[in-house]
Amino acid sequence: MQKTQTALKNSYRRYIRRKWLVLFVLVAILCTCVVVSISVGSSGLTISEIVTALLGKGTAQTSAIIWNIRMPRIVTGIMVGIALALAGCIMQNVLRNPLASASTLGVSQGASFGAAFAIVCLDAGAQVNASTSAAAAVSITNPYLVTLCAFIGGFLTTVIILGLSRIARVSPATMVLAGVALSSLFSGGTTIVQYFADDVKVASVVYWTFGDLGRANWQEIASIFAVTVIALLYFLANRWNFNAMESGADTAKSLGVAVDRLILISMTLCSLMAAVSTAFVGCISFIGLISPHMVRKFVGNDYRFLIPASALMGAIVLVLSELVSRMIVAPSILPIGALTSFLGAPMFLYMIFKRGGIKWSK
């Protein structure tokens, strides 16, 4: 008996060490991506110049390039990637659906409608710049109003879905179907708003929906950081409850988990993260959908490790996407939202059709 217990303890220790090793590798990959992303650009900075500038001893030009141009984009990519991946990871758990994410539940589409309404109906984006660059020909004249309306539109989707769950008592699976319906509704609303707009306003709406990590300043990054940290702490505090939810709501209730409250708070925090992120940077798809599935193969459905692993993978995917968007047609920068969709869709299809690619416990 004692030998059996010792063998079980050693097996469990090896299991835990493997999970921690995965997290360590993900942190190392993220750090490498950040260093490479900082060094890549038309200015041709060396590693020594970058390190010197990060320590506050670089030249004024080098410091300006890193702290005013590159670092805001990279930090925004890290925070938005973490936020969207966390939202997808937790939504997939509480809704018992591996396809749940901010984009499939309509949060991103609601934010897009809010931004389009602000640009077209509230005249928040009709400035034409004297530039030969098509990407820079139109700018948002009132970014704070656009951000506010985008947040309201994204969070409105959450309120409707949560209202259906509380009033109509629909099942978690039905909530995903409601999200699909709301996505179609808001997409149609965005199309109608664009139909009645002039060419400049339509261009502004399209420009916003591209997704751009360069829009957020340090104050907006701090807002994303604050919301994400609060949500992350709540999710980690309830990691055992999420593990219990893997066996079903009835089993979780029998184990003492307040399932209804957990779903309500989790969905609110997930949607808040997604709405804030989308409001500041535009629509970025597939990050929340594929990131949790990419790490499940290595850490399983143990939410003690799946939550931080999903967050790290989301940051890695978005930072890499941002790097690729700057390298393909340099010095121009491709829309990050279009790039993540272009790369994420084939990857997700591969994971679906690959034998054992997506496993979901019943």
Please provide the DSSP assignment of 102-153 as one string: TTTTTHHHHHHHHHHHHHHHS--S-EEPS-S-STTSEE-S-HHHHHHHHHHH
**pLDDT tens-digit series, residues 155-183:** 888 888 878 777 766 666 677 778 888 88
* Whether the predicted pLDDT of 196 surpasses 90: no
Lowest-pLDDT range of 185-194, 206-215, 270-279: 206-215
Q: In sequence order, what are the beta bridge partners of 127?
A: 139
pLDDT-based confidence at residue 111 (cuts at 50, 70, 90): confident
Distances (CA, A) of 92 to 24, 123, 136, 245, 289: 24, 38, 38, 11, 9
The upper half-sphere exposure of residue 146, i.e. CA atoms within 13 Å in the direction of its Cβ, equals 27
CA distance 194 to 323: 31
C-alpha angle 41-214-292 in degrees, rounded to nearest 5: 95
Structural domains of the chain ordered from first start: 74-353 (1.10.3470.10)
Q: Which two tokens stand for residue 269?
A: 């925090």
C-alpha angle 73-271-27 in degrees, rounded to nearest 5: 45
* Whether the predicted pLDDT of 275 surpasses 70: yes
The model carries a pTM of: 0.86
Length of the chain: 362
pLDDT of residue 342: 79
